[in-house]
Amino acid sequence: MEILSVSQMRKADKAAIDAGRPGLDLMQAAGYAVGEAILARWDKRAVVVLAGPGNNGGDGYVAALHLKKAGWPVTVYGLGEKADLPGGGQGDAAVFAKRWRAKVQPLEAALDVIAGLENGDDLLVVDALFGTGLARPLEGAAKILAELLTVSQAQHNAPAVVSVDIPSGLSGDTGRALGEQSGAICFHADLTVTFCRPKPAHALMPGRGVCGEIVVADIGISDSIVAGQGPVSHLNDINVWGEAFPRHDADIHKFARGHVVVLGGETMTGAARLVAGAARRGGAGLVSLAAPEKAFPIYAASVDPGTLTPSFKGVKGFSALISDARKTTCVMGPGAGLGAGQGKTTRAITLAAINAGKRCVLDADALSVFQKDPDVLFKALKAEAKMLGGLVATVLTPHGGEFQRLFPDLARRYARGGTRTKHSKIGITLEAAKRSGAVVLFKGPDTVVAAPDGRTAVTTNAPRTLATAGAGDVLAGLIGALLAQGMPAFEAANGAAWLHGEAASAFGPGLIAEDIIDELPAVLDWLDEMLG
């Protein structure tokens, strides 16, 4: 599913209106969807609608009217003077506000209601204050309400909170609270009902975490209008990479499924073994764990029987090892080593694989060794793409610390904050991909994958159990397996990230990295059925 930026969504709204869909109809559909989502999830209770001065408030009035018609007791609290109407009494929002015949209380009056609440189950709060229409931190009564609700949520005595479009105080384009660096906050919702398509805030952390359940309601904006906006990103699902996923004929040969070479380290041998195991489960026809001579006995005694364990000595030895054209893919970095001369070797081997035109996955130490001069890596990656006729063959898989080492200025931009897409994780990952000439998979609970050609996707299916040692090594091996089977780098990175999350979710609590590998066959079987 496409992700639209705030400005793209506004343009889509306008395009729909220009195409003949009245703005009143769009607002009616949006507010109705909010009301229906509430009716489907909660029993009847008192409802407080916090209505802002713009279209978000208009959606709130429609929801209030719908809930009242269903027999729910509803009170509307408006931002501003009692007599004020959204849009200064003009526009679509004001039309629905005028249809609300009951008295509109000032927003400040809601403070006593929330502060004096004894049982959270007695009340439901609809946050229709600002949505994506705010560009500054919450202030005044709106800020105090957000603080009161956050405290009551921490004490487990909070009313249910339903946000319209996005929780007020959250940046729709970055997923971070507006003014986060100065301690500003936003509403925390149990349910967020957004319209047409998700915004970056629904996919990126911490925004996704404060949205609660997310419902994307169809309000009648056509797919062609959405496509015309050039969506800022996509949610990572089968639609992003399914057509490129390897489907093999019955007479397939193992070499046709690709040969992955995993660079082993001298001391941290477990990481490379996890990579190799994931590459085998991910479908690679052959996997070789290239063992440094000093560590060969360890690898030979501990790898799975189906994994080849050739040994090598130094950069020349590794280069000779991968000279066979059938060895198409290299995964390098996990446990490769940084100290006592190991870093120099890791760096040279990484460049050798790139210069040889191999499809590469660079993780962990294979990234950190370029901290002082990342441009050396980027130059090699761009030269490889040129040598391969424009094919981007390498995936970089940094976590936050590794991203900062390679792209310190982009990490600083993100840390400083901002409200535009370029300040978001999507924005900085895309710029990193363009700068490096590689596909960049920026790991995290909101993994973002970006390609130099401008495509991006956000993975949202990663469970919290993936915060475990070795999970990143498994992901690197999965990417390597898909690259070896011919998937383009962008699709391979996204497909692997999705499979990684699904396998972890399928296992459940108590997950360790090996469990992800063990769950892959069931997930792949389900995927095979889905792809037909």
For every one of its 532 residues, what pLDDT tens digit does the chain have, with 9 covering 90 and above?
Answer: 999 999 999 999 999 999 999 999 999 999 999 999 999 999 999 999 999 999 999 999 999 999 999 999 999 999 865 445 565 555 788 999 999 999 999 999 999 999 999 888 999 999 999 999 898 999 999 999 999 999 999 888 899 999 999 999 999 999 999 987 667 899 999 999 999 999 999 999 999 999 999 999 999 999 999 999 999 999 999 999 999 999 988 888 898 899 999 999 998 999 999 999 999 999 999 999 999 999 999 999 999 999 999 999 999 999 999 999 999 999 999 999 998 789 999 999 999 999 999 999 999 999 999 999 999 999 999 999 999 999 999 999 999 999 999 999 999 999 988 888 999 999 999 999 999 999 999 999 999 999 999 999 999 999 999 999 999 999 999 999 999 999 999 999 999 999 999 999 999 999 999 999 999 999 999 999 999 8
d(CA 275, CA 316): 23
Is 409 annotated for ligand binding? Answer: no
**If 0-12 CB within 10 Å is exposed, 13-18 middle and 19+ buried, where does residue 510 land?**
exposed
Q: What are phi and psi of 328, to 5 degrees?
A: -90, -20
Is 472 annotated for ligand binding? Answer: yes
Is 249 annotated for ligand binding? Answer: no
> For residue 89, what pLDDT is reported?
53
Is 135 annotated for ligand binding? Answer: yes
Is 324 annotated for ligand binding? Answer: no
Residue with tokens 């210069």: 355
From 264, 323, 321, 319, select the one nearest 294 (Cα to Cα): 264
Is 163 annotated for ligand binding? Answer: no
Please answer whether residues 524 and 499 qualify as being in contact, where contact means their C-beta atoms are separated by less than 8 angstroms.
yes
Pairing type for strands 311-312 and 233-234 reads: unpaired
d(CA 55, CA 168): 13
Is 398 annotated for ligand binding? Answer: no
Is 53 annotated for ligand binding? Answer: no
Is 56 annotated for ligand binding? Answer: yes
Is 239 annotated for ligand binding? Answer: no
Tokens of 58: 């208009």
**Which residues are registered as beta bridge partners of 439?**
395
Is 304 annotated for ligand binding? Answer: no
Is 165 annotated for ligand binding? Answer: yes
d(CA 279, CA 331): 9
- Measure Cα distances from 27 to 80, 95, 219, 320, 326 in Å: 21, 10, 8, 65, 58
d(CA 229, CA 6): 11
> For residue 82, what pLDDT is reported?
42
Is 460 annotated for ligand binding? Answer: no
Classified by CATH at the fold level, domain 251-425+457-531 comes out as: UDP-N-acetylmuramoyl-L-alanine:D-glutamate ligase (3.40.1190)
Cα-based angle 308, 311, 315 (whole degrees, multiple of 5): 125
Is 75 annotated for ligand binding? Answer: no
The length of the chain in residues reads 532
Is 446 annotated for ligand binding? Answer: yes
Among the four given CATH numbers 3.40.50.10260, 3.40.50.180, 3.40.470.10, 3.40.1350.10, the one describing domain 2-231: 3.40.50.10260
Cα-based angle 4, 428, 344 (whole degrees, multiple of 5): 145
Residue with tokens 């279209």: 55
Is 480 annotated for ligand binding? Answer: no
> For residue 251, what pLDDT is reported?
82
> For residue 87, what pLDDT is reported?
54
**If 0-12 CB within 10 Å is exposed, 13-18 middle and 19+ buried, where does residue 119 land?**
exposed
> For residue 84, what pLDDT is reported?
56
Element (H, E) at 148: helix 140-154
d(CA 14, CA 445): 33
Overall pTM surpassing 0.85 (yes/no): yes
Pairing type for strands 311-312 and 123-128 reads: unpaired
Is 41 annotated for ligand binding? Answer: no
Is 150 annotated for ligand binding? Answer: no
Cα-based angle 312, 317, 321 (whole degrees, multiple of 5): 80
Is 473 annotated for ligand binding? Answer: yes
> For residue 497, what pLDDT is reported?
99
- Sheet of strand 286-292: strand arrangement: 311-312, 286-292, 259-263, 329-332, 359-362, 394-396, 439-442, 448-450, 456-458
d(CA 436, CA 360): 14
Is 292 annotated for ligand binding? Answer: no
Is 137 annotated for ligand binding? Answer: yes
Domain range annotation of the chain: 2-231, 251-425+457-531
Is 58 annotated for ligand binding? Answer: yes
d(CA 442, CA 429): 7
Give the chain's largest Cα–Cα span.
Answer: 83
Is 444 annotated for ligand binding? Answer: yes
Radius of gyration of the chain (CA): 26
